[in-house]
A = this chain, B = another copy of it.
Amino acid sequence: MVSYWRQYPDIEVKLQAVREFIKQRVQISNTDIESAIIAMNAAGGKYLRPAFFFMFTGFTEHKQYSDDERIAVAASLEILHMATLIHDDIIDDSPLRRGQVSIQSHYGKDVAVYTGDFLFTVFFELVIETMQGSPYLAVNAQAMKRILLGELDQMYLRFNQEQTVDNYLQSCTGKTAELFRLACEEGAYFGGADTATVERAGRIGINIGLAFQILDDILDYTAQEGEVQKPVLEDLATGVYTLPLLAAYEGHAQDFKPYLDKGLNISHEDIRTVARMVRDFHGVDKARELAQSFTQRALDDIEQLPHTPARKNLMKLTRQLLHRTR
């Protein structure tokens, strides 16, 4: 996490505070669960959602909410994210998470169920503590539901060769973009920005989230084993068809069918063949184009934000995050 934010020293300091805050808040007498959460928190993703939150607090000097309150809100975003990741890994039977053994694989599905539930309760507490009387209490409940519905969509589309790019985008809008939307919107709101900026922040969040998810899914088709911190093409093996495959599939259904029909019995060799076809039929190129168009929409909206140093940083971060080529 540290190196990623070196260019944004203000953000880096705040993210460290969020990390400490989370460490304090997840204390629980059950040592397995506490250590599992603390390890996950330390291995940390990039804390992207709290980072976008803080970026968006920078658009006014107005201070209705204290720094401590903002840290708590930023932490609630990351905690909700962690809770959903842990439960997703149960569904995906995922052996790895953030380059470490996932909780479900290390401690078993039972512990993973309760660990996710525990984080949901911490999220719930934090939201109540910080948002009483604000509309964001209800917004958070709704966001949590939308994220879950996105996950459910994905689960139910598994191995379905009839699914479309639209199905994929709808699922991503829930499972990924919703939390980016919430992070950006809450940043603007708890930073004291005006209504138009809050609304724009939400839209930016959605577009960043969609681009981010697509790029992540592209990586699965272009990265070599060992380069990324999760097994390459695990999604394909478990029947999750992401954008590169869906884009390549259009017009080439017959080429893919014999492989996809194998369902869970698809071999490593088959997976490599499918991945090659995805690239040959321009699935990766098309996915990249779509990611590019969401990125551009986000950048155009960022252009319209008040001219502040925060805008400059936000522009830089968005470019850095979404212009990764592989």
Contacts and interface: CB of A to CB of B under 8 A. Distances in A.
Contacts of A101: none
A33 B152 contact: yes
A155 B110 contact: yes
A137 interface: yes
A133 interface: yes
B124 A144 contact: yes
A91 interface: yes
A160 to B, nearest CB: 14
Interface stretch (A111-119, A191-199, A268-276): A111-119
Give chain A's interface secondary structure class: helix
Interface string A88-116: 00110000000000000000011101101
Contact of A30 (B30, B142, B156): B156
A27 to B, nearest CB: 12
Contacts of A145: 118, 121-122, 125
B114 A152 contact: yes
Given A90-B109, A128-B138, A137-B128, A114 B148 contact: yes
Interface string A150-178: 01110110000000000000000000000
